[in-house]
A and B are shown apart, each in its own frame.
Chain A
Amino acid sequence: MSNRLASLRLVAQHEFKRHLSGQRMLLLAPLIIFFLAAACWGFSDPRFTAPAGITIDSPASALFLASTVIVLVCTLAVVLLGFDTISRRRMTGELAIDLSQPMPRTDFALSQLFGVWMAAMLPTLIGIIAGSWLIHRQMGAWPSLVNSGVFVIATGLLLWWYTCLQLLASSYARDMGSSVTLGVGTWLLFTLLWLLVTVVVATFMGVDATDTNSTAFDLMAERMDLFSPNGVFQLLLETMLPESQPQLDPFWIWLSAITWAILPPYFFIRRMNRIKP
């Protein structure tokens, strides 16, 4: 068992280093760090007025607003880092060599997931740390340890979900173009189109989607968010904001988070156990 774990860790480290030293990372890492730091700096500026009556009166709320960068930039970075993880190896013939090694395919699949996930997490963590320091500079206080912890855990989970979805897409894609299209398509669905899906479902359920102050629609939207990684991420962060607590019981939010953390990797591992080179 310890040998298996050691192999898994070593292969994941190789993947992590490969992604970290790739050309893509040269562009993505500075972008992630810059956007996160800039968002934290801007949202914690006392002169900044947030739209829709959102009040930014604590480091936690500034950090919460900066999470939009994670939803928009970091998730896209995962797609761009991971789209060719399996599909490229499959096309070049390297996958046949990988699959012929005496390493359980489950371990191989996990090592690929961890490699991409860690590569996306590293610049994100640096961005969060830099952002927290900038919030401290602007507001004179650090985000609390609990807030920071939940923020990092929620971010880690979000990037893990996207890593699983992207590598699953990469394993099914017959060429790299299809792989990136599947990944970007998934990202677009959850990032930009999910509100439309929510409105359609709400209308079918008889909930008025045109009334933005409707608590019934808010509850409906929160329920729908349980089926979207971005939605679960936002709900997890909202549980830490006293002024905008979600209507849903946190049990359901955490259950959804755990389900998202288990189901996509399960499908990816199952796929890798059946994949043909």
Chain B
Amino acid sequence: MLNLHSATYRHRLRRATMTNPWATIPGPGVRGIDLEIKSGCILGLVGPNGAGKTTLMQILAGILDLEDGHIQLDGTPIRTEQQHLNLCASVGYMPESVSWVGPSTPNHILSRLCAMRGVQTSEGEEILKLVGLSNRVDDDLSTLSKGMRQRLSLATALLGEPRILILDEPLNGLDPVAQSAFRTLLRQLAQRGTAIVISSHSLTDLERIIDEVALMHRGRIVESGSLSTIERDLGIFARLDIAGMGSTPESFGDEIRAEPQHPHKGEDWAYRLHLEQGDWTAQMRASIQNELTITRMNPVSADLEEVLTAATGLSVEDSGFDVFTDVEVEEDE
């Protein structure tokens, strides 16, 4: 449906010189991105701040022109203005955190965008109903909560029934009920064939809805595919948090490394088990449960830091996160 080949775009940074006060140099952006967005597929773009997610999304939405490489819609490269307009007509873009301020109402905003997209104003009213703003259509923007503003942003992206939805951090500001409704809506859209690209800093936000994930770091896609494949490839999926009562077990088996954890209240011991090879099978779990009195047994999903460090080979500090190590936290306490 939508393909990127060796897509490169770098933001320009101001570097005034004595001779040219408006001089710029190439700054961060995205480099050599190859990506395929398929009909009916929900693709998660995951990466830390500054990884290039928003830049990539703005390229896909037709806002930024590529410096190098090309973009294809249904196999046709985007070259002419008309092809560019076709791309924009196929894409619904929801930017990250639009403030929505000023003397206006959701109805006015949608009807203005209807005029820009060349669709009937009645469609805007229907979309506002779909995102749960039907009773606030004529309210001043200043009276809308953060979640409602986020719904309004989503409504702007859904206008004109786009074949591709580009959603930049759409879950920000939504309450859990709204998040659940939002996931259901995305699933329904995907089932109808809409391709969806959704970004987040957090894998846990996305893992329940995405079919595939592209992991971004410093302007490049470092891993892509289904989440389970990536986690398995990187060897960070095979973990199990386990706790129980009674005597502390001495060993869990040859291929299992046990890392002691703090037990919760009512537990005598707790471990994080790392499987050196393969995945946890039902048999392996059953054999542990048979031998011990288990109070808790949960698979541990990978978080972004782990996936990122595993994919790039960098340490957490190198990868650009401003995080405390365990030692620093203890010192602070």
Contacts and interface: CB of A to CB of B under 8 A. Distances in A.
The interface residues of chain B, by DSSP majority, are classed as mixed
Interface of B: 11, 58, 61-64, 81, 85-86, 88-89, 91, 93-104, 108, 111-113, 115-118, 153, 156
B113 A88 contact: no
A92 B96 CA distance: 10
Interface string A10-27: 110010001001110000
17 contacts: A7-B115, A11-B115, A14-B108, A18-B103, A92-B98, A93-B98, A96-B98, A97-B98, A97-B156, A100-B62, A100-B88, A100-B91, A101-B88, A101-B113, A102-B116, A276-B11, A277-B58
Interface in A144-163: none
Given A11-B116, A100-B93, 17 more contacts: A11-B115, A14-B108, A18-B104, A23-B103, A88-B101, A91-B99, A93-B96, A93-B97, A100-B61, A100-B62, A100-B88, A101-B116, A101-B117, A103-B88, A104-B81, A104-B85, A276-B11
Contacts, number: 80
Contacts of B112: 11, 14
A3 B100 CA distance: 28
A99 interface: yes
B115 A18 contact: no
Interface string A121-163: 0000000000000000000000000000000000000000000
Contact of A102 (B58, B88, B104, B111): B88
> Which of B91, B97, B100, B112 has the largest count of A CB atoms less than 10 A from its CB?
B112
Interface string A164-201: 00000000000000000000000000000000000000
Contacts of A277: 58, 63, 95
A14 B110 CA distance: 11
Contacts of A18: 103-104, 108
Nearest to B91: A100
